Structure 1
Amino acid sequence: MTLTKNLTTRRTFLKTTAGTVAGLTAFSSAMAGKLISLESPPVSKISLGVFASYDHAQYLRGLGCSYIEESVGGFLIPKEGDTRFGQNLDSLHSLKFPIWSYVILLPGELKTLGPDANHDAILKRTELALKRAKECGSQYIVFGSGGSRIIPAGYDREKAKQQHIDVTRKMAPLAEKYDITIAVEPLNRGETNFINSLAEGVEIVEAVKSTHVRLLCDIYHMLKEDESPDEIVKYGKHIVHCHIAEKQDRTPPGVKGDDFRPYLRALKKIGYNGGLSIECFKYTDFDSEIKTGIEVLKKQILEA
């Protein structure tokens, strides 16, 4: 009797345990499915910076900026020559406030396309800029340079596009050599008649096929071209850097009161983790306007 009872109890235990394990497995599988289906969107951590002379670096750091953005001609290849670049580099090493990126790679007279295209001179300047950006510990050089890429009246547009792609392809190995990313920047039609949207910028990026040639998203230019924030989501995988300014007069956030939240929301949606630089060229009062601009932009990022 005792043996029979013990065997029965053991069978009951094993049967119950098996059922419990099966139930837990099924529960775990179901929950895994729910976790996958309810997966959180990518986390976005936008770092704020400002395009300005490095003279403003200490002030911008005090305002909570992560970096400053300079120009190729102002910092890397100044008109005063190598001595001035050495002084700039000393300032950077002394202050240790990072320069992540540089704008205005090419002056307007140096043409990427058209009958006066000068690719040899462009590549020489680009290599020097990349080499020096590497010395500075920077990450990006912005390839906007609208004046250099204006298609002349009557010039074949497809030929012009191919010229621009060709020179960008030649830049790519140099960018890889110095491990600096070239960010192709679409500009509004008030500045140039070629590459005026994210879609057109992506055409160049995809034609070049280099991990070191990517896309810049400039919300100011998008606003000028009435380009939807949805384009950021559509082409998000190509975007490595961003600029921003108000639409009417290219003023910092808070001057005219532009609402950037739809565009900032799009950046969050793609899990954007790069820099967002306030890029303006004229200020009534730099210190005051940029302080307000950073405060307004931080608030809109939180609300987006």
Structure 2
Amino acid sequence: MDQPFEQQSRRKFLKQSSGIYAGLTLGAGTLAEAMSSYNSGAKFSLPLGVYASYEKAEMLKSYGCSYIEESVGGFLIPKDGDLKYAKNLQQLQEEKFPIRSYVILLPGDLKTLGPDANHEAILQRTDLALKRAKECGSKYIVFGSGASRVIPEGFDRDKAKAQHIELSKKMAPLADKHGVTIALEPLNRGETNFINSLAEGVEIIDAVNSPSFQLLCDIYHMLKEDEPADQIVKFGKHIVHCHIAEKQNRTPPGVAGDDFRPYLSALKKIKYKGGLSIECFVYQDFDSQSKKGIEVLQKQISEV
């Protein structure tokens, strides 16, 4: 669960920040309030969000979202450079609608393993992303980046795993330094051939052994891998963030009619109190489908 910021942390942030950065303390406070607002009632509920451009923030807030989920390359390290990031930051200050987390930490050409592994460049990018995530009052950066961790054909799997763990052990102190948690995301085998289940993700997390390096549970990828809901219960102590989408075409809830209640029940069983983000990349109509997706999730959550 995201804990409210302590008063000492607020004072420290204000002292260290100026101008636009100081203005974001309100956004950070809003994030803490949004993340904990569901706790006021006895029924199980979760803060819901959608992966989207921050341009959609006002609309998603009107749909009942508690936050938005952005991408590292779209918001924190945009291709147009520092000026674009400054504009993104300004928009966040004005909207005051929290960004909980960021996906797509690494582009596909930055390899975590294999003969072309480039750990130095990855650590530089990760450090900058974490620094800016903190400036934005955000709590998580998702470490999925499936194309970056594909084990090349003929490359030793144990060596690849060792490379990935070595990198992750260097990333964790950066996350700790900035107060932002890295959430490792298992992906289905259609996207990568390494870390395809919660169990495999926890192997890496146990090897890293840092509270700043934890697990993301993506129900879409679990469905694609036929991974049962009880795995959420088994590894629940590591789960800090969740994604969701329908199995067949990665559509938002309510398009194909997928029943997520077994997985939502598992989250309830572990007393999960983090966020649940609809993460889809293709919509026929974003506005209507994202709205329906939130409504469907709210209904299914209320039924577990």
Category of TM-score, reference length = shorter chain: 0.7 to 0.9
Output one character per residue of 1:56-99: Cα deviation in whole Å (capped at 9) or x when no partner.
Answer: 00000001100000000000000000000000000000000000
The question of 1:212 aligning with 2:212 is answered yes
Q: Which runs of 5+ in 1 are unaligned?
A: 1-41
Spell out the pairing of 1:1-304 with structure 2 (5 A cutoff).
44-304=44-304
1:70 is paired with a residue of what secondary structure?
strand
Once the two structures are aligned, what percentage of the paired residues are identical? Answer: 73
CA RMSD of aligned residues (A): 0.9
Q: TM-score, normalised by structure 1?
A: 0.86
Output one character per residue of 1:165-222: Cα deviation in whole Å (capped at 9) or x when no partner.
Answer: 0001000110000000000000000000000000000001000000000000000000
Equivalent residue letter for 2:159 = K
1:100 is paired with a residue of what secondary structure?
strand
Output one character per residue of 1:10-38: Cα deviation in whole Å (capped at 9) or x when no partner.
Answer: xxxxxxxxxxxxxxxxxxxxxxxxxxxxx
Q: Structure 1 residues 229, 246: CA separation in 2 closer, same or farther (over 3 Å shift)?
A: same
Equivalent residue letter for 1:67 = Y
1:45/1:271 contact within 8 Å kept: no
2:188/2:224 contact within 8 Å kept: yes
Equivalent residue letter for 1:115 = P
Superposition deviation, residue 279 in structure 1: 0.2
Structure 1 Cα separation of the partners of residues 172 and 193 of structure 2: 23
Structure 1 Cα separation of the partners of residues 207 and 245 of structure 2: 29
Structure 1 Cα separation of the partners of residues 96 and 222 of structure 2: 33
Equivalent residue letter for 1:257 = G
2:45/2:301 contact within 8 Å kept: no
Structure 2 Cα separation of the partners of residues 245 and 43 of structure 1: 23
Aligned partner of 1:31 in structure 2 is none
Superposition deviation, residue 149 in structure 1: 0.1
Structure 2 Cα separation of the partners of residues 131 and 137 of structure 1: 10
Output one character per residue of 1:264-300: Cα deviation in whole Å (capped at 9) or x when no partner.
Answer: 0000000000000000001111110011110001000
Structure 2 Cα separation of the partners of residues 179 and 144 of structure 1: 19
Superposition deviation, residue 46 in structure 1: 1.4
Question: Number of residues paired by the alignment?
Answer: 263
Structure 1 Cα separation of the partners of residues 300 and 195 of structure 2: 28
2:240 is paired with a residue of what secondary structure?
strand
Q: Structure 1 residues 100, 127: CA separation in 2 closer, same or farther (over 3 Å shift)?
A: same
Superposition deviation, residue 234 in structure 1: 0.2
Larger Rg: 1
1:168/1:208 contact within 8 Å kept: yes
Structure 2 Cα separation of the partners of residues 44 and 128 of structure 1: 36
2:58 is paired with a residue of what secondary structure?
helix
Superposition deviation, residue 43 in structure 1: 7.8
Superposition deviation, residue 45 in structure 1: 4.0
Equivalent residue letter for 2:189 = R
Aligned partner of 2:27 in structure 1 is none
2:105/2:126 contact within 8 Å kept: yes
Equivalent residue letter for 1:88 = N
Q: TM-score, normalised by structure 2?
A: 0.86
